[in-house]
Amino acid sequence: MAYKPIIVVAGEPNSIFLEIFFKSLKIKKFKSPIILIASLNLVKLQMKNLNIKKKIRNINFLDIKNSNLNNKKINLININFYQKKPFDKISSKSNDYIKMSFDMALKILKNKFTNKFINGPISKKFFLEKKYLGITEYLAYRTKTKKFAMLIYNENLSVCPLTTHMPIKKVSKKINKKLINEKVKLINSFFQKHFKLKPKIAITGLNPHCESIGNINEDEKIIKPAIKSLAKSNFNVSGPFAADTIFLKKNREKYNVIIGMYHDQVLTPIKTLFEYDAINITLGLPFIRISPDHGPNDKMLGKNKSNPLSLIKALTFLDTKK
């Protein structure tokens, strides 16, 4: 195979993922063989429900290395999971199935058959069971990765939350100079490796207008000194900027990446600007992991109206890598 395969874990069985997966293969041709890790039973049920007509090629772990795979058929590694209907309510009954899917994907990646990985949406409430903040942290734990970052990537502007899926009341206690340094260095390495580009990075403050409130002054005591230190080390960083104005067109156009202090501070504007035209990349892992930038969206199950753009972008990004 000239191009290494892309491993795709379908994730939550009762989500829109298989729908957008089928649509992606129909809309665009990919050079890299795509290997879906999912339940054969579920794939057949949802294909019938969505009136998808494409042949399935059942493969196993060793076929990935030895076979001359292509995308004329759906290359499927079956993970046993049974339900009578194509769609059901999201619950913890799929937890073992999702874990076994990740186990298979990580086995493939560990054996260096490829370094390209996508996972579909997963219910944090049921699968993670409050043990991890998100799939980013789950995969970091599974791969023993200590330094990692969530990058919501669009070719025009990307964002990175310093803290991820945590209650807002806990954010201020997690902000520190070390964490800011880690995220900037991971972003810088990623852009230099994949785009031969030294990224221009803007960093927001935490408080409104980056102003102190009483004795609370993270912007002056933590964020500003961290930026100053990174700039002295030749990183192209600026800030802290007020979060309510950094995303204005004349401001955001100056930067490749905006780092925010918490999840919604940067994900709300990026999704407002680009909607489905963005992908979630985990930096720092021993492979390239991407997921579409949306959840299971159970309200759209079976309607065949879901937008596949984010998954197409994820597949396209990995398809350019040999």
The model's pLDDT over 81-130, given as tens digits with 9 standing for 90+, comes to 998 898 888 888 889 999 999 999 999 999 999 999 999 999 888 888 77
Positions of the chain with pLDDT lower than 70, given as ranges:
1, 66-67, 216
Q: Which residue has the tokens 């491993």?
A: 7
Q: Measured between alpha carbons, how far is 248 from 245 in angstroms, rounded to an integer?
A: 5
Closest by CA to 137, choosing from 263, 7, 309, is 263
Whole-number pLDDT of residue 203:
98
Three-state secondary structure readout of 123-170: CHHHHHCCCCCCHHHHHHHHCCCCCCEEEEECCCCEEEECCCCCCHHH
pTM of structure? 0.93
Closest listed residue to residue 7, CA positions, set 135, 110, 105: 105
| φ and ψ of 152, to 5 deg | -90, 110
Backbone angles phi, psi at 289, to 5 degrees: -110, 130
- pLDDT in the model for residue 129: 75
Q: Answer whether CATH 3.40.718.10 is correct for domain 1-145+285-322.
A: yes
pLDDT tens-place string over residues 260-292: 999 999 999 999 999 989 999 999 999 999 998
CA 9 to CA 98: how far, in whole Å? 8
- In the DSSP assignment, the letter for residue 85 is S
Q: Which residue has the tokens 């089928």?
A: 22
What's the CATH superfamily of 148-282? Isopropylmalate Dehydrogenase (3.40.718.10)
- Strand positions, DSSP E, the chain: 6-9, 34-38, 56-58, 74-78, 116-119, 149-153, 158-161, 201-204, 237-241, 257-260, 279-283, 288-292
User: Where in the sequence of the chain do the CATH 3.40.718.10 domains occur?
Assistant: 1-145+285-322, 148-282
**The amino acid at 53:** K
